[in-house]
Amino acid sequence: MPTRLYSDVQMLDHQPGDGHPERPARLAALLHGLRERPVPGTTWHTAREATEIELGRAHGPGHLRLLRAAEGQTVSLDPDTHTSPDTVQVARLAAGATIQAAESALAGVPAFALVRPPGHHAERDRVMGFCLINNVVAAAEAALATGAVERVLILDWDLHHGNGTQHHFEGREDVLFFSTHRFPFYPGTGALHERGHGAGEGTTINVPLPAGVGDGDLRLALDAVLRPAAERFKPQLVLVSAGFDAYHDDPLGDMRVSVEGFASMCDAALDIARTYAQGRIALTLEGGYNLTGLTDGVRACLEVLEGATPPTVATPGKGERAVMEAIRAHNPRSA
């Protein structure tokens, strides 16, 4: 099965300022590496901008007005989030590419949106943490709006908690949001007890983890917390907020995940997609600030989507206790 890659060189034009970790070199390294040495089976597709209707499903009118006002400007919208003249257009491309990836998944073709800026910290009415538009929220909403699916799983394995994604869906039963992340850590949310509310009670699942967590801990979280939740929820589409900042050499993280660990998480996600969602899976890039971890991590995920079997990862380590706590909290049968 071919895997579609959605990206655009225009996404290099978002310049958040000298020394900013979310720098154009991240995507430049990915595009260069995957074009020089392609993963066999992958095909490139040009990103399109998300429409106002698509953005309006993820953000309030005030937020969209703020984005329009920032077009062509160099401004700081948040202590970590700065624009250059092309930033807003680039953010619309990132959201559009993620929507395209979800549409590809719905059509039966796995896809990876290689985008920047990332999206999962963007709240409905607030730019935050390098993120202007919540790409994965826009994609999940677009998929649900087609009527082709009624239940979407969002797996967020970025180092940081996907606060924007959680807050958007935490009152709803049609999206299961599952996040592994370092905690306590930026952005401060993502505690074990945040489980959704109202109709969404139980469809938010957080696995907060201490520093130093590695491959085996994360795989255990996916196998022992996400898998039973997926069995109950039966997702019809799997979207992944794929961040690579839990990599052992990432400047932001202090986690211990290897390239094989990312392959293993992608393998677990693909297996869930195949078991419950007719193989419908799309990934979108979130963080990842060590260029080796980012490029090798994305490549390893693409190889898994193209049929490679990832090596068995190490047994759980520093995070085992935290994962066991999450198992007790989120699995009714073991409670």
Active site residues: 121
CB of 287: closest distance to Zn ion in angstroms?
A: 3
Candidate residues 11, 66, 67, 159; the one interacting with Zn ion per rule CB under 5 A: 159
Per CB under 5 A, does 8 bind Zn ion?
no
Check if the beta carbon of residue 136 is closer than 8 Å to that of residue 163.
no
- Tell me the per-residue interface mask from 282 to 321 with Zn ion, x by CB under 5 A, - otherwise: -----x----------------------------------
# of chain residues touching Zn ion (CB under 5 A): 6
Choice between 287 and 310, CB closer to Zn ion: 287
Of 60-68, 186-194, 244-252, 306-314, which segment contacts Zn ion by CB under 5 A? 244-252
| DSSP state at residue 190 | -
Of 15-23, 155-163, 191-199, 324-332, which segment contacts Zn ion by CB under 5 A? 155-163
Per CB under 5 A, does 158 bind Zn ion?
yes
Choice between 245 and 271, CB closer to Zn ion: 245
Choice between 110 and 243, CB closer to Zn ion: 243
The Cα 96–Cα 50 span in angstroms is: 4
Per CB under 5 A, does 245 bind Zn ion?
yes
Of 217-225, 238-246, 262-270, 311-319, which segment contacts Zn ion by CB under 5 A? 238-246
Instruction: Match 């990599």 to its residue by tokens.
Output: 247
Token pair of 266 as six digits: 């992608």
Rg of the chain over all Cα atoms, to the nearest angstrom: 18
Pinpoint the alpha helices (H) of 37-194.
52-56, 61-70, 87-106, 135-145, 163-169
CB of 49: closest distance to Zn ion in angstroms?
A: 24
Of 72-80, 149-157, 159-167, 265-273, which segment contacts Zn ion by CB under 5 A? 159-167
The Cα 35–Cα 14 span in angstroms is: 21
Candidate residues 160, 167, 256, 299; the one interacting with Zn ion per rule CB under 5 A: 160
Per CB under 5 A, does 243 bind Zn ion?
yes
**Separation in Å, CA 322 to CA 182, 261, 265, 330:** 11, 18, 18, 12
Say if strands 152-156 and 175-182 run parallel, antiparallel, or are unpaired. parallel
CB of 76: closest distance to Zn ion in angstroms?
A: 19
Check if the beta carbon of residue 34 is closer than 8 Å to that of residue 42.
yes
CB of 253: closest distance to Zn ion in angstroms?
A: 8
* Residue 130 exposed, middle or buried by CB count within 10 Å (0-12, 13-18, 19+): buried
Reported as half-sphere exposure (CB side, CA atoms, 13 A), residue 284 has a value of 35
CB of 293: closest distance to Zn ion in angstroms?
A: 12
Of 43-51, 66-74, 93-101, 279-287, which segment contacts Zn ion by CB under 5 A? 279-287
E strands in the chain = 3-7, 42-46, 76-78, 81-82, 111-113, 152-156, 175-182, 204-209, 237-242, 281-285
CB of 331: closest distance to Zn ion in angstroms?
A: 26
Per CB under 5 A, does 117 bind Zn ion?
no
- Residue closest to Zn ion (Cβ): 287
Strand partners, 180: 207
Q: Residues interacting with Zn ion, by CB under 5 A? A: 158-160, 243, 245, 287
